[in-house]
Chain A
Amino acid sequence: MLQGSYVINPRRAELALRKAVWRPLKTIKSRVSLPQQVVGRRRGGTPHSLSLTTTTMTKLMQWLFGASLLGGLWALVSFDLLDLNLPHTYREVAWPMPLYLLVSFGCFSLATVGYRVATFNDCDAAAEELQEQIREAREDLRRRGLKV
């Protein structure tokens, strides 16, 4: 017998699909606390000027913000924009950093793919059983007259 039968619940599948795919990165919002000057009012009506409110920033904006921050830091160090006169070796190490991160990410993904290929869970017995059942089914249909 096969290890269990799978019945897909269509409603649950649709909800999962909607959650994973139909909400693109740019519409997922998260709360980011940024202090903002807000004119609020006390209960009596007298205004007070500063209060802390939270704004929502999308995930895309957060990633772009972080990336531009790191990019600015890299440009600062490698092109010496503020004339800090760092030692030459540090600048020489910092300059190929984006390419180095890209290459190391490529190496990491290659290693992950190779590792998953090597440790993939083959079910030989189940594959054999499936082939046998296909043969049986074909014989059965042929006996009943269906051209297979």
Chain B
Amino acid sequence: MATGVDQAVGMGLVLFSLALFSYYSVWVVVLPFMDGDHMLQQYFLPREYSVILPGIAAVVLLLMIGAFTAAVVWMNHKPKKVD
């Protein structure tokens, strides 16, 4: 079994993704069936954000991947010697 930091990070990832999944599920699937003045509605943003926020997250993720790739390629690029 992995110990220490590995276990903490792994379990943290699991709990985070579980929390994110349940929050997003309630937001998208459950909330339209509730009344407008239900007590639960106050914990959630307006419904448009349920589409905009994952879109922004996807764009940020792609930017990070692109930046990482560019950094790695730039680091490994050895300039050829010109005689």
- Chain A residues within 8 Å of B, Cβ to Cβ: 89, 92-93, 96, 99-100, 102-104, 107-108, 110-111, 113-122
Interface size class of B (residues with CB under 8 A): 20 to 34
Docked complex Cα distance between A16 and B35 (Å): 57
Docked complex Cα distance between A104 and B23 (Å): 11
- Whole-angstrom distance between the Cβ of A127 and the nearest chain B Cβ: 12
Question: In the complex, which residues of chain A have a beta carbon less than 8 angstroms from the beta carbon of B9?
Answer: 114, 117-118
Docked complex Cα distance between A99 and B29 (Å): 12
Known contacts A103-B20, A117-B13, A119-B1; 15 additional CB pairs below 8 A are A89-B32, A89-B33, A96-B28, A96-B50, A96-B51, A99-B54, A99-B55, A100-B24, A110-B13, A113-B13, A114-B10, A114-B17, A119-B2, A122-B1, A122-B6
- Chain B residues within 8 Å of A, Cβ to Cβ: 1-3, 6-7, 9-14, 16-18, 20-21, 24-25, 28-29, 32-33, 47, 50-51, 54-55
Most-contacted residue by chain B among A111, A116, A120 (CB, 10 A): A111
